[in-house]
């Protein structure tokens, strides 16, 4: 058992905020915009290479914390690890850059501290400005109090939590590969080289229909074996199911495309921000799934505040023969099941990480 005590200190004494980084204007460098940070996701989702004209500057090991509402409240915080040694990147002016301070904190621990409930509360309480445009004021944030574990324990905490995040990221990468395999096969069979003599052109409603999800607030859920899907994907579990699997869930808001189409291999609970797919023949599911994933490619696609059932039902589509539907199912169904299992595992790992995080940060659970 670790017997060293946690200490109470000010954030400004424990963490370096917006450390000075030298990057001359006009220098070609990697830029991270706010849309490259997902909510409660350690990994940055990409960058562009352009001339530096201003903004926050960072190096590997820094943490990017969104300072503006609602990005901060939504959990946009990420860890920088994609730069080369001594390389400096830059990003949105709405990032606060956090770094470990020698003798006080380690870089990776700072990331987990920044996503912990207590730190987030302190950051949110430091926001000022008009409604809808509030920002964290760093001089206020620096004066907020936190408790800090000793350095050896910080290393252990970061190691435990990062191992969970690394497994989540590994599953995400695997799923991207599996999705790409399925997309390539679908495109080859049904877009690039379709068997036209075995197709019928009909409206989509002849193959499937969209049904509304259920009203299921979090306070009314009892944890169980059935996944709950919202417009952003898996959002929990429930002890009862509403729809027999396998099935497809389609987000009702946002962009029609890969971020709003989900697959469940088992019975599931779609909630009111979603549609679920109803079809008379279960082996249609893989074809419909990739049809919806490719909708922007085979149709115009657009950003829509609310997805219209009528628009989807009336889409003209080329429906393959039952023989080809069955062949595609036999080849690709195991791939979809693996994607579903990886997503379920990620939900479990995320829940474990989110449960451990405040306990490790508060000292309720101590580690060597």
Return the half-sphere exposure (C-beta side, CA atoms, 13 A cut-off) of residue 39.
10
Is 62:99 a contact under the CB 8 Å cutoff? yes
What domains sit in the chain, N to C, each tagged with a CATH number?
A: 7-148 (3.90.220.20), 174-333 (3.90.220.20)
Q: Compare 132 and 171 and report the one with higher pLDDT.
A: 171
pLDDT one-digit tens code per residue, 226-274: 999 988 888 889 999 999 999 999 988 654 443 588 999 999 999 998 9
pLDDT one-digit tens code per residue, 200-215: 899 999 999 999 999 9
Distance between CA atoms of residues 135 and 67, nearest Å: 5
**Chain center to CA of 111:** 17
Q: What is the pLDDT of residue 223?
A: 87
Mean pLDDT of 41-69: 95
- In this prediction, residue 55 has a pLDDT band, given cuts at 50, 70 and 90, of very high
Q: What is the pLDDT of residue 299?
A: 37
Give the pTM: 0.86
Is 295:190 a contact under the CB 8 Å cutoff? no
For the chain, give the percent of residues with pLDDT over 90: 78
The token pair that represents 164 in the structure block: 């969970």
pLDDT one-digit tens code per residue, 307-360: 678 888 998 999 999 999 999 999 999 999 999 999 999 989 999 999 999 999
Is 248:285 a contact under the CB 8 Å cutoff? yes
CA quadruple 259, 82, 104, 123: dihedral positive or negative? Answer: negative
The separation between the first and the last C-alpha atoms of the chain, rounded to the nearest angstrom, is 6
Q: What is the DSSP string of 220-285?
A: G----SEEEEETTEEEEEESS-SBPSSEEEEESSEESSGGGEEEESS-BEEBTTEEEEE-S-GGGH
Instruction: Give the residue ranges of DSSP H helices in 103-212.
Output: 107-114, 117-125, 138-141, 151-187
């Amino acid at each position: 058992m670790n017997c060293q005590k946690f200490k109470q200190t000010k954030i400004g004494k424990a963490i370096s905020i917006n450390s000075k980084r030298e990057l001359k204007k006009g220098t070609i460098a990697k830029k991270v915009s706010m849309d490259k940070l997902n909510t409660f996701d350690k990994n940055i989702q990409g960058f562009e290479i352009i001339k530096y004209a201003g903004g926050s500057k960072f190096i590997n090991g820094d943490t990017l914390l969104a300072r503006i509402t609602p990005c901060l409240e939504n959990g946009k915080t990420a860890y920088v690890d994609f730069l080369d040694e001594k390389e400096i990147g830059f990003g949105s002016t709405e990032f606060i850059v956090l770094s470990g301070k020698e003798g006080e904190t380690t870089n990776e621990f700072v990331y987990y501290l920044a996503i912990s409930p207590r730190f987030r509360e302190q950051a949110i309480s430091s926001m000022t400005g008009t409604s809808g445009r509030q920002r964290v004021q760093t001089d206020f944030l620096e004066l907020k109090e936190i408790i800090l574990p000793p350095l050896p324990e910080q290393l252990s905490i970061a190691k435990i939590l990062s191992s969970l995040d690394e497994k989540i990221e590994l599953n995400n990468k695997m799923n991207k590969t599996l999705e790409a395999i399925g997309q390539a096969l679908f495109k080859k069979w049904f877009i690039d080289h379709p068997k036209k003599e075995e197709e019928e052109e009909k409206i989509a409603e002849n193959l499937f229909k969209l049904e509304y999800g259920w009203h299921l607030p979090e306070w009314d859920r009892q944890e169980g074996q059935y996944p709950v899907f919202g417009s952003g994907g898996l959002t929990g579990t429930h002890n009862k199911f509403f729809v027999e699997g396998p099935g497809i869930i389609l987000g009702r808001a946002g962009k029609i495309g890969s971020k709003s189409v989900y697959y469940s291999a088992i019975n599931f609970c779609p909630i009111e921000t979603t549609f679920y797919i109803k079809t008379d023949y279960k082996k249609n599911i893989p074809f419909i799934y990739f049809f919806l994933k490719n909708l922007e490619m085979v149709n115009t696609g657009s950003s829509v505040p609310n997805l219209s059932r009528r628009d989807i039902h009336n889409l003209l589509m080329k429906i393959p023969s039952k023989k080809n539907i069955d062949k595609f199912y036999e080849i690709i169904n195991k791939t979809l099941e693996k994607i579903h299992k990886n997503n379920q595992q990620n939900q479990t790992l995320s829940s474990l990480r989110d449960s451990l995080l405040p306990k490790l940060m508060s000292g309720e659970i101590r580690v060597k």
